Amino acid sequence: MKKILLPLLGCFISLSSFQCEKEVLDNTRSVITGLLVDDSGRAINGLSIKITSQHNVLGQSATASNGQFKFTSLRSNRGEFNFEFNGTDINPNYGSITYHYTDSAFLEKYGFGEIVLTRSASLNFKLIKTSQGNSALDFELKYLGTACRYFYENNELQNNESCFPEEVIEESLSDADPNFEIDLIAPMNSIVEFNYQIPGEPVQSLQITLNEPVNNYEFEY
Amino acid sequence: MNLNIRTGLLIFLFSLPLTVTGQETVVEEGPAVEKDDHYAYFQFAAYQPLSFGNSFASEGLSAALGVDVHFLTNLFDSPVLIGVFYNQFRSEVTKPELIGNYIQSDISNFGIQLGYQAINHNKWRGTVTAGLGSVAYNNDGAGFSFKDSGTSLQITPSLSYHFTKNIGIFTAIAYRRDFLNIQAPEDFGNFFDSANYLIISLGSRILF
């Protein structure tokens, strides 16, 4: 009998505690306001804003044509939540900003003022083998990501933001798989570093500046 | 003389309730009027709330057809009614940016009510009731749930027709106001404080 009762009791306790830990506070709402502009000062229209807690979206909206936003959110009960600007449903023309809160009570009002998002540029990068004979190519692409994360603890901004992290792509091309193509997104006017080496030769380096919204680069070897 | 007048008045006053709620058919001058001899009823109804005004319920929710149950009884053979009620309906969230990102709300309301039986006939009954209830908006999102709660006030004039001694139909148009305990910033004004509904009901009654 004990063998049956103890697991049942365990299940009951775990179920009860699961139900007690509510994701969202009862009888509360918050208001979120602000203005989104790009790094040239232009208002950004139709950009998505989400408030998430774990995997739940508590509030979401999009900016108006003048870049302003004002919407209602439910309040997280967890003390850990995110404000994501262009974090999901991403508009590829802009970077993203996430404010990550830990050990923080969800306030009744968040007025973000002016938030500046970096414009993004795309690069269509192609490596095409045109030479005859057996040859290989080792290469790496180094570029900056477009995401920016700020961290808050007890609703206080910490000094450990993480912005525009370096991204690296490394590949080795051979006769079996001689070509390569990728579309990548990086901040506008940033530089993509292309380092390559043909076996037996020194490493070569090229820099590609992303000064247009859409950029193409083709390299033949 | 004074004694006679007082006795006459007393007899008149005591006989008044019997006349009003008496179970026999009272024959008066002119056509016979069949007095209402029922003392209680159950009521089951389809319940369609229509929200109005500038509130979260009218701007961000869309109410569907619900159900409503009442029990009312006459108080001491008088036209005064006392009873309890329960109703429930579901609202879909239409503008999450205005009220928060959830999907739907199951709105239940139960409480007590007082009423007055205005039309007093065995086939027809006209009543007005005022109810005070506890209201809960049980809200569901994608993977979470939470609750908004408060108090409701409802005024319901209704008219019923009785096919037989025990069965009838009725219709009612009610005004209901939910006063909610939602804490929200002042920016919202009274948006989350209350919700107003006009409610159309149609259903059946079992009379006793």
| Residue in B97, B142, B148 nearest the CB of A26 | B148
- Is there a contact between B100 and A23 if contact means CB atoms under 8 Å apart? no
Out of 2.60.120.560, 3.40.50.2300, 2.40.160.20, 1.20.1090.10, the CATH code matching B34-207 is 2.40.160.20
In a domain, A185, yes or no: yes
**CA–CA separation, A48 and A91 (whole Å):** 8
- Mean pLDDT, range B64-83, rounded to an integer: 94
pLDDT per residue over B109-168, tens digit each? 999 999 999 887 878 889 999 999 999 999 999 999 999 999 999 999 999 999 998 999
Whole-angstrom Cα distance, residue B44 to residue B42?
7
Reference A217, options A135, A96, A114, A121; nearest CA is A121
Q: Are B54 and B191 in contact (CB under 8 A)?
A: yes
Mutate to test the interface with B, among A21, A22, A29 (most CBs of B within 10 A): A29
Which of B145, B181, B185 minimises the CB distance to A108?
B185
Which structural domain range is residue A174 located in? 120-145+167-220
**Domain membership flag for residue A156:** no
Is A77 in the same domain as A134? no
Q: A157 lies in a domain? A: no
- pLDDT tens by residue, B49-58: 999 999 999 9
- Nearest alpha carbon to residue B177 among B148, B150, B140: B150
Written as tens digits, the pLDDT of chain A (221 aa) is 455 555 455 444 444 444 557 889 999 999 999 999 999 999 999 999 999 998 899 999 999 999 999 999 999 999 999 999 998 888 999 999 999 999 999 999 999 999 999 999 999 999 999 888 777 899 999 999 999 999 999 999 998 889 999 999 999 998 888 999 999 999 999 999 999 998 888 999 999 999 999 999 999 98
How many folded domains does chain A comprise?
2
Q: Is the pLDDT of residue B25 over 60?
A: no
Q: For A55, name the nearest residue in chain B, comparing CA atoms only.
A: B143
Q: How far apart are CA B111 and CA B151, in angstroms?
A: 9
Predicted ipTM of the assembly: 0.81
Question: What does residue B75 show for φ and ψ, rounded to 5 degrees?
Answer: -90, 115
Regarding whether A137 and A52 lie in a shared domain, the answer is no
Asked whether residue A13 is assigned to any structural domain, the reply reads no
Q: Which residues of B touch A (CB under 8 A)?
A: 96-102, 141-149, 180-185, 187-188, 192
**Looking at A117, A132, A155, which one is the last position of a domain?**
A117
For the residues of A25-36, what is the DSSP string, one character each? -TTB-EEEEEEE
Residue of B nearest to A62 (CA): B97
Rounded to two decimals, what is the model's pTM?
A: 0.81
Nearest CA in chain A to B189: A31
Residue A108 and residue A68 share a domain: yes
Where exactly are the structural domains of chain B?
A: 34-207
**Closest-CA distance of chain B to residue A75, Å:** 9
The reply to whether A112 and A124 lie within a common domain is no
Distance (Å) from the alpha carbon of A60 to chain B's nearest alpha carbon? 6
Strands A147-153 and A96-102: parallel
Residue B19: per-residue pLDDT: 38
Which chain A residue has the Cα nearest residue B179?
Answer: A27
- How many Cα atoms within 13 Å fall on the side-chain side of residue A40? 9
Same domain, A65 and A129: no
Which of A23, A30, A56 shows the shortest C-beta gap to B185? A30
Residue A193 is assigned to a structural domain of this protein: yes
Percentages helix, strand, coil for chain B (3-state, rounded to 5) are: 15, 60, 25
Query: Is residue B10 over pLDDT 50?
Result: no
From A94's Cα to the closest Cα of chain B, the distance in A is 22
Q: Which of B102, B143, B180 sits opposite A74 (nearest CB)?
A: B102
Nearest to A30 by CA among A76, A62, A61: A76
Interface test with A, best of B94, B137, B144, B149 (most A CBs within 10 A): B144
Contact B101 A59 (CB under 8 A): yes
Q: Which residue of B has its CA nearest to A54?
A: B143
CA of A38, closest CA in chain B: separation in Å?
Answer: 23
Instruction: Give pLDDT tens digits for B180-192.
Output: 999 999 888 899 9
Chain B residues with CB-CB distance to A30 below 8 A: 184-185
**Neighboring chain A residues of B185 at a CB cutoff of 8 Å:** 29-31, 108-109
Beta carbons of A96 and A146 less than 8 angstroms apart: yes
Return the pLDDT at B11. 38
Chain A residue with the nearest C-alpha to that of B187: A31
CATH number at residue A209: 2.60.40
3-state secondary structure of A114: strand
Higher pLDDT, B2 or B145: B145
Question: Is 60 exceeded by the pLDDT of residue B196?
Answer: yes
Is pLDDT above 50 for B17?
A: no
* CA B168 – CA A66 distance, rounded (Å): 59
Shortest distance between the Cα of B133 and any Cα of chain A, in A, equals 18
Mean of pLDDT over chain B: 86
CATH number at residue A85: 2.60.40.10
Last residue of a domain, one of A117, A137, A159: A117
Report yes or no on A153 lying in a domain.
no
Residue B74 · residue B162 · CB < 8 Å? no
Q: What residues of A are in contact with residue B182 (Cβ under 8 Å)? A: 27-29
CB contact under 8 A, A26 and B149: yes
Assess if residue A134 is contained within a domain: yes
Give chain B's end-to-end CA distance (angstroms, integer).
44
Asked whether residue A12 is domain-assigned, the answer is no
